[in-house]
Chains A and B, each alone.
Chain A
């Protein structure tokens, strides 16, 4: 026990610093996902054939290949074209692209779940489609989207651990590092687990309570 406390003292601050990187990755990738996801959603709903088609291909391809593969293509593969990204940037771009495809599906489902009559009522009052979207549909879709989107945030937090493979110093990279220095895998990785749980559990609680509240309505 004493021994574990000592390990904790020497490695926990180091690994905990990785949590900051994990959260930075998460926040930036989420922003990217929302922008890409909304664009893809509107592209698909625009009624413009080609634009919708491109968005469809992007969503299909992204969802049908492992995120790790995409990360390697962006970080290692693009160097063949002379594009050298630093690991952090490559991770943010990859996670945004992967997340964007999932977010697009969440957004589309949310918008479609808003009663069709809402759009008709808005249009019948002379509102343009963008205005009806902004004032009437999206606020309602937002409430519907919140629980699945919270779950999406949780997966995003966990997916940032992929960045370990290209040496971004997030939680997993640092615990791997600490483990190879100390040869105390169980102790070190349990610290990582505590950090992930501390971030993710409250979020998943929040998502569950949102779902319960919606079910109660």
Chain B
């Protein structure tokens, strides 16, 4: 078994009086892809956002690459090592696809422009969008935007990738192309945590599935176990509801 890269111990998060995370324990190992499923409002997205410190946890500890990030104040360094892809892409609209990809490598990693561009084109090629390098986000479809967003993340060579419902804002026929990219990354051994509503995809691509409800991890295990032999009644109820929807 590979080394743990991320460890959460009793992670808590509250927005004012509303307790969103009530003590989450979780370990992610190098090269593992962990899918987080659960009903809306179960704290899945908040969990991811606590990891790269877009939200400030109110309790517990998070250890990333052996360092307690709940204590560190150098969030920029942390964020360079932990990429995030958002539901609504959040591409920079005033920059081309390539511009989006090379922005942080040039200004944060201080790479030379020609170096960053070569690598940026390479990454855009990997997500199948080399011919769109000079297109602006408004000229791209949702699926294409999200693939650029993934390339933008990968340009920072992150150790861990956080994918926050990255297909939820897409038209159904565009979901596949984005999932293909994620599938490739998982195969190449990228460590990732993905919050998703795509059960079939979670089952296919994840090494482990974590079911969250009410701000805690209710059940976790290999996808086969979670989807075919759910133990807790809450997970059983959730799966019945979502699988019925899919039909």
Using a CB–CB distance below 8 Å, which chain A residues touch chain B? 115, 117-118, 120-128, 131, 135-136, 139-140, 143
Contact = CB atoms under 8 A, between A and B. Distances in A.
Contact of B90 (A115, A127, A139): A115
State the 8 A-B residue pairs at the shortest beta-carbon distance, nearest first: A121-B90, A126-B80, A125-B104, A117-B90, A124-B84, A126-B79, A126-B108, A126-B76
A160 B244 CA distance: 70
Contacts of B52: 124
Contacts of A136: 92, 103
A207 B33 CA distance: 51
Given A125-B156, A135-B103, 14 more contacts: A117-B88, A121-B92, A124-B52, A124-B83, A124-B84, A125-B103, A126-B77, A126-B79, A126-B156, A127-B76, A131-B108, A136-B103, A139-B94, A140-B93
Interface string B80-100: 100110101011111000000
Contacts of B93: 140
B106 to A, nearest CB: 10
A117 B45 CA distance: 14
Contacts of B75: 123
Interface string B43-71: 00000000010100000000000000000
A143 B94 CA distance: 10
Contacts of A123: 54, 75, 79
18 contacts: A115-B90, A120-B86, A121-B91, A121-B92, A121-B149, A123-B79, A124-B54, A124-B83, A124-B84, A125-B108, A126-B104, A126-B156, A128-B76, A131-B107, A135-B107, A136-B92, A139-B94, A140-B93
Contacts, number: 56
A127 B88 contact: no
- Residue in A122, A125, A135 whose Cβ sees the most chain B Cβ within 10 Å: A125
Nearest to A119: B90
B208 interface: no
A131 B104 CA distance: 10
B152 interface: yes
A127 B54 contact: no
A121 B146 CA distance: 13
B65 to A, nearest CB: 15
Nearest to B79: A126
B108 A120 contact: no
Contacts of A127: 76, 104, 107-108
A126 B153 CA distance: 10
B92 A118 contact: yes
A7 B76 CA distance: 68
Q: Which of A126, A131, A139 has the most CB of B within 10 A?
A: A126
Interface in B190-221: none
Point out which of A120, A121, A124, A127 has the most chain B C-beta atoms below 10 A from its C-beta: A124
A123 B79 CA distance: 7
Nearest to B153: A125
A212 B52 CA distance: 40
B47 to A, nearest CB: 15
B92 to A, nearest CB: 6
Contacts of B80: 125-126
Contacts of A140: 92-94
B152 A125 contact: yes
Contacts of A139: 94
Contacts of B79: 123-126
Chain B CB count within 10 A is highest, among A120, A121, A139, for: A121
Contacts of B91: 121
Contacts of A128: 76
Nearest to A140: B94
Contacts of A120: 54, 86, 90
A126 B82 CA distance: 9
Interface in B131-168: 149, 152-153, 156
Contacts of A126: 76-77, 79-80, 104, 108, 156
A118 B90 contact: yes
